[in-house]
Structure 1
Amino acid sequence: MSRIGNKVVVLPESVEVKMDGNDVTVKGPNGELTRAFSPDIKFNIDGNEVTFTRPNESQKMKTIHGTTRANFNNMVVGVSEGFQKSLELVGVGYRAQLQGTKLILNVGYSQPVELETPAGTTIEVPANNQIIIKGSNKELVGKVAAKIRSIRSPEPYKGKGIRYAGEQVRSKEGKTGK
């Protein structure tokens, strides 16, 4: 039994849902998101509550049921509250700056790395060693954060690199002399 799929999604007053076959559009104060869902899962909208039902008890339907509910809930939360990921730059001389919509990273390479901000996200640099990515699409925010982190992943010997805020980097012991 899918426990996630059976949970009810409560729609805030500022969120509006439109269904066109298996394409669902969720509109709110932070924007509009559209996604195509499986035609097997049925959406039941009752006032401000949305429930999901599956046609049978097969393993495939159970997984699609839970995934559909989770993705729909992420859309509702994204257009009402939004998502954000924070990154930290750790290392001597590592810094970030924002020029218009371009993020410029100095992370130990011979040239600074420049990244264009993708549509649907905003990037903030409150301090020169901190980056905050915000947006209404959870998947896109996570993908942008992972792309920035992959430019210089934290290394295990000194811990230098770009890491998520609060991420623990397991350090290894270096070489020892004779």
Structure 2
Amino acid sequence: MSRLGKLPIKLPAGVSVDIAASNEVTVKGPRGTLNRQFPTSIAITLDDGSVVVQRHADNRFQRAAHGLVRALMNNMVVGVSSGFKKELDIIGVGYRAEMQGKNLMLHVGYSHPVEFLPPAGIAFAVTPTPDKNVRVTVEGADKEVVGETAARIRRIRPPEPYKGKGIRYVGEVVRIKAGKAGKVGKGGK
């Protein structure tokens, strides 16, 4: 039995779950609505203010899907109640970000600013940091979309290994390489 899969998911106040016969689950809360289709071999039931995930058999697929379905359901409940966020730091001389309506404008060393449109359900926030860099916050209810959007922003200018300039996650450690060794003058000195 999956140790994670057998744990019930407690529903916070203001969150409702609707389970269709085809195992399509809709979760509604203060931060939005999420739906997802789950395999019919996994049983999802409501039981006294919590969601319970059970498997019908003990074959390899159902053992693998049991914990996964429970984790995805938990992410949906947490997403519509409190939401998810990822933070990115933009580091480099002259590198900056600004909001233009709902769109994110990135000035990261290219000859033109890069405009990044938010997917549905995603909001951006730009704040300065104490060390004169810029922090971009990606927020939303769907954990997968928040993570993918943050990864797409980072991909615009990933951190380079010599000076560390670029876009990186908060807390990400970038290993800095040593530059070229200095030349020795003529005559072997």
TM-score normalised per structure 2: 0.91
Runs of 4 or more, structure 1, over 3 Å off, are: none
Structure-2 residue corresponding to 1:148:
153
In structure 1, distance between residues paired with 2:64 and 2:127: 40
Q: Which runs of 5+ in 1 are unaligned?
A: none
In structure 1, distance between residues paired with 2:72 and 2:151: 19
In structure 2, distance between residues paired with 1:135 and 1:12: 18
Identity %: 52
In structure 1, distance between residues paired with 2:163 and 2:60: 45
The aligned amino acid for 2:95 is Y
Structure-2 residue corresponding to 1:2:
2
Q: How far did 1:77 drift?
A: 0.1
Q: How far did 1:7 drift?
A: 1.4
- Please tell me whether the aligned partners of residues 89 and 135 of structure 2 are also in contact (alpha carbons under 8 angstroms): yes
Q: How far did 1:50 drift?
A: 1.4
In structure 2, distance between residues paired with 1:133 and 1:116: 12
Q: How far did 1:51 drift?
A: 1.4
Task: Determine helix, strand or coil for the equivalent of 1:125.
Answer: strand
**Which has the higher Rg, Structure 1 or Structure 2?**
2
Pair 1:162 & 2:167 matched: yes
Structure-2 residue corresponding to 1:45:
46
Structure-2 residue corresponding to 1:106:
107
Q: How far did 1:173 drift?
A: 1.8
Structure-2 residue corresponding to 1:172:
177
Q: How far did 1:177 drift?
A: 3.0
In structure 1, distance between residues paired with 2:159 and 2:46: 45
The aligned amino acid for 1:120 is G
Task: Map residues 1-178 of structure 1 onto 2, 5 A cutoff.
Answer: 1-21=1-21, 22-127=23-128, 129-178=134-183
Q: Deviations over 1:65-123 (max 9, x none)?
A: 11100000000000000001111001100100001011110001111111112111100
Q: Which runs of 5+ in 2 are unaligned?
A: 184-189
TM-score normalised per structure 1: 0.96
In structure 2, distance between residues paired with 1:155 and 1:12: 43
